[in-house]
Copies of this chain bind each other. A is one copy, B any other.
Amino acid sequence: MTARGNLFIVSAPSGAGKSSLISGLLKDKPADKQVSVSHTTRQPRPGEVNGQHYHFVSVEEFKALIAENAFFEWAEVFGNYYGTSRKVIEQTLEQGIDVFLDIDWQGAQQVKKVMPEAIGIFILPPSKAELERRLTGRGQDSAEVIAGRMAQAASEISHYDEYDFIIINDDFDTALGDFIAIIRSQRLTGAGQIHTHNDMLNDLLAE
C-alpha cells in the first residue's frame, strides 16, 4: 500500500531562512511533497494566485468554515484571518504526500494538539549577529522595523524546545541536507513502515 505522508510543521524566526529552505526542498517539484495552502481573508498581493499561494475567501466564508470546524488551526493576524483546512491536509497525507505547514509557534501548538504525530522542525540562525545582519541585509526596512523584528525573533526563538528537530541554518546547503534527511528518516520509522509494508511483513513471517 502507499505509505501515508507525514505532516511537518516548520517554524522559524524571520531571517532564519525558512522560506529559502522550503523553496530548496520543493525546487524540483517532487510528487511526494507539498506546502499546505492556507485560507485567508486578506487581499491577494500582486502575483499571488488563488489556490496556489492561498485560498482567498471572504470573512463570511471564513467564519462559516470555522463554524464547520473545517480548520486544523486558524488565527487572526493584523485584522486578517488565516487558517489551515484539516480536510485538505488529511486527503493529501492519505495520497502519500508529505505536507509542510509554514506556521509560527502558536499555530504549531494548535496543530500538535489535534495531531500529535505532526513533526515539528524549528530553523535557527547561527547567531544573533548573523540574524541582525540578515534582517538588515534585505535593505528594505527601517531600523525601527528591524529592531521590532529582532524582538519578535527572540520571542519566536524562545519556543525552540517545543519542536522535534532543530536545524541551524549557517551554511544553506548543509541546512537543506539536514532538512531532507529529517524528512526522509520520518518515512522509515517503525510505526510507519509496519503500516505501509504489512503484506511484506506477513510474507516474511509466513511458515
Contacts and interface: CB of A to CB of B under 8 A. Distances in A.
Contacts of A122: 190
A184 interface: yes
| Interface-centre pick from A128, A158, A177, A204 (highest chain B CB count, 10 A) | A204
A96 B129 CA distance: 27
B165 A185 contact: yes
Interface of A: 122, 124-128, 131, 153-154, 157-158, 160-161, 163-168, 177-178, 180-182, 184-186, 188-190, 193-194, 197, 200-201, 203-207
Contacts of A190: 122, 160-161, 163-166
A154 B189 contact: no
A161 to B, nearest CB: 6
